Amino acid sequence: AASMGRLNDLFDIAPAISDSGTTRSLQHVSGTIEFNNVSFKYPETSRHVLTNVSFQIKPGQTVAIVGGTASGKSSLAQLIPRLYDVSEGTIKIDGVDIREFRLAELRNAIAFVPQEPFLFSMRLRRNIELQNLQGKPGTVASRELERALQVSQLAKTLPVLPEGIDTRLGERGINLSGGQKQRATLARAIYRDAPILILDDALSSVDSETETAILSALREYMTERTSIIVSHRVSAVREADLILVLEDGLLVEHGVDPHAAGEEELDDGQVAVAHAEVEG
């Protein structure tokens, strides 16, 4: 009874983020994303994490977000699926404020891979197929699962697992390495096949050889959707159509063609952008 009382206290809490009074359906997503003078601060703080950030991403573009620690990269990424709501300004998808969409449909249109991979205590296969919200037919699901395993390079590590893809995972995937966890969560996002893909430093724990293979496979996959990559590695953003540079919550530069950057990792707060078009 005491446990049930604590559970009921939790169930009775109203979500801080929910559908607005006028909700629109989000069925056919082209992938245009606009930030218009977006500022954001976490509810428990008074300091803005992002200040007056504005940019536009065109359908099918791959955009990289780079910057030093605590520059606001992850916070920006989390605003798109409304894990948090903006404090000021608007974020639009296909010209409509995201707060006007049904929350479930908005998030169904976005595949998000967070910095910290989260896996449930169930079989690996079930973790990857978790977001099969459309109830894909068996042949389609099997084909897309195979693509997800190949793109994420998870297929290469399955032979070392006790039962391969049907290995039962411990709490939060404790019986997998950090790199295997990241590949599993990446496979989950790819399997979802959403029109918008967000990778929040999703390859930080994989070795350089595996990262190269993943990025090579991702290039073809990302041509079909709008993609956002948050990273501090030049290798991860080298093929981006547009690079956004954040510093202390401000968008200080945006540019294209980072091929001239030769560093394997960017120094904290320092970003190399070759041939950049700069806006102060």
Q: What is the 3-state secondary structure (H, E, C) of 166-231?
A: HCECCHHHCCCCHHHHHHHHHHHHHHHCCCEEEEECCCCCCCHHHHHHHHHHHHHHHCCCEEEEEC
The per-residue pLDDT for 179 is: 87
**Cα separation values, 105 from 182, 191, 195, 242, Å:** 25, 17, 12, 27
Q: How many whole angstroms separate alpha carbon 178 and alpha carbon 203?
A: 10
Q: At what angle do helices 178-192 and 208-222 cross, to 10 degrees?
A: 10
What pTM value is reported for the model?
0.81
Tell how far CA 129 is from the center of its chain: 17
pLDDT at 265 over 90: no
pLDDT at 39 over 70: yes
The per-residue pLDDT for 262 is: 39
Least confident residue range of 207-211, 220-224, 234-238: 234-238
Angular region, 173: left φ>0, alpha ψ -120 to 50, beta rest: left
Question: Please, which pLDDT band fits residue 56 given cuts at 50, 70 and 90?
Answer: very high
